[in-house]
Amino acid sequence: MLDIVSITKEDLDGVLKTIKSTARLRKISGVRQIIIDSSEGHLQEKIRAIADGEENLIYAWQEPLGIAPAFNAGLGLSKAKWVWFLNGGDEVHPDLEPDTIFTLLEGTAADTVIFEMEGVPSRVRYRHPPMWDQWPPVFPNAIPHPATIVRRSLFQTFGHFEEKWGISMDAEFWLRCFSQDATADTISIPIALFDEKYGDTVRVVSIPGTSKEPTTKSRACPEREFGGRKNKSHLPQLDPHAIAG
């Protein structure tokens, strides 16, 4: 039913938080967690030993090649209908009711379900942009992968994450999918706690079809909605067809 893919590198405390937060879900039949670890030495051995003692958790080591190869490695081990990318340090929201999420997944015909997330330590909720402002799905309208659950078949149809885009690989993937026939539900329920110590800055990199140079925006600002009119003059204007083609 659901595979939770968690990537980690040299962060024992972060991955332990993630593993602990998924324990309740992993007790449900058809739910597994896949850890892709790029730690080394004693830390790698410790994370593996902890993972081996957990229920419905698969551990795999990969040399540190970057986030896209790690996500793709998790996809390669996944056999479930749905995939949730919940990185080491991020957590399942403590208020999430498993029945709610599985009822929604079983009933939807969409290719992906985009929920919301809450920042830690700020406890600020990252809300969806208004409907008129949800395209293109890049910063500040970025689709929050810690709060997004995707049909695995979507990757079979449109391909995996492109490694050349680095940390922007998910934005490119969404443009590739949603420029064609992919569909999505957006639901204003927070399902994840996002570890903001890894997200103080979001870098928007150049993608073919942009008309402006890359820029960097701080996530440590009072306004944390993904959409809205703020700061849009500083953002690259993307041509989705340049990527989709």
pTM of the model: 0.81
Q: Provide block-wise average pLDDT over 10 residues at a time, the chain (245 residues).
A: 97 97 96 97 96 97 94 97 97 94 95 96 90 77 89 96 90 92 94 81 35 33 33 35 39
The predicted structure's pLDDT at residue 168:
86
Q: How many other CB atoms are there within 10 angstroms of residue 120's CB atom? A: 17
Owner of token pair 């056999």 = 79
Q: How many other CB atoms are there within 10 angstroms of residue 136's CB atom? A: 21
d(C-alpha 80, C-alpha 141), whole Å: 28
Q: Across the chain, how many H-helices and E-strands are there?
A: 7, 11
The two three-digit tokens of residue 27, written as one number: 């007790």
The predicted structure's pLDDT at residue 139:
66
Contact assessment for residue 139 and residue 204, using Cβ atoms and an 8 Å cutoff: yes
The two three-digit tokens of residue 187, written as one number: 């639901």
Domains of the chain: 2-244 (3.90.550.10)
